[in-house]
Structure 1
């Protein structure tokens, strides 16, 4: 049974980031275009028979998952497939804050600081080393293989999915994950 990877819709960070300059939008939410992209994706997944959704705790992924799947299938939040921390938008928020923003989801199982920890730049962004990021990506595949509820959708992020698939997904693109 298939596993589908769905990149989040356009975030406020995606909309304004240019030339590698971080616009300092922490845990960036979706833009109006991102919400529309998620609404279009809702139509595309309708016939896929998805029975379970796992989404990253970053706000743009949670908002995307809720717009696509709320009230249709169970949504679980997990930090395993969070984005590689390299910009402000990849810095997460405390589970208590996420619970206040999204009371319909459970964040209690997350560590207080579930995103990458390390030396921070002057803006409080800890850059995740590539070796740690790639080890995290490799560790995610067995988690997918162990998932018993299928078809399964994973709502996550561009760099993480690029490391899994070998190509960057567009915002709200749906790609089937083929296990090797």
Structure 2
């Protein structure tokens, strides 16, 4: 945005505080023209600040008396947003690292949960490669999927493994394990 104001020749207006002359002082000639010119430039800069920034943000500095004051409020607002974004990013990173499959959780549920965390990371500026996502899914699996995990890591290139293929393979494995469990229960009951 700073470059925008430089390009239209208003940055010096924003960068320097505009001050009205004290009450009772009347300027004449060139001084009066200079004052009017500065006022006009300040109004233009303030106008561009309002129209260039989203409405919910510009409401914070609508009360500003000069474009310099509006700019200062805008900069402080974005610094707060950046700090909040960093905190959210830390929270999502922590969740990503600590996520493990729960005993009653299905493959679809763990995929969805990790996908939500990854979307949160990406929304807050984190660049996450697909291979990290694949590795995280495999790390998060419960012990009953250990054999499938070992086979996948040994036979597949994780950097080229598609998430859909991984999910289909794990859901198929889960279904097979559940069938075996059901058959074992039936045999035990007979």
Q: Using structure 2 for the length normalisation, give the TM-score.
A: 0.23
- State the structure with more CA Rg: 2
More helix by proportion, 1 or 2?
A: 2
More strand by proportion, 1 or 2?
A: 1
Q: Larger relative CO (CA 8 A, sep 6+): 1 or 2?
A: 1
Q: Using structure 1 for the length normalisation, give the TM-score.
A: 0.24
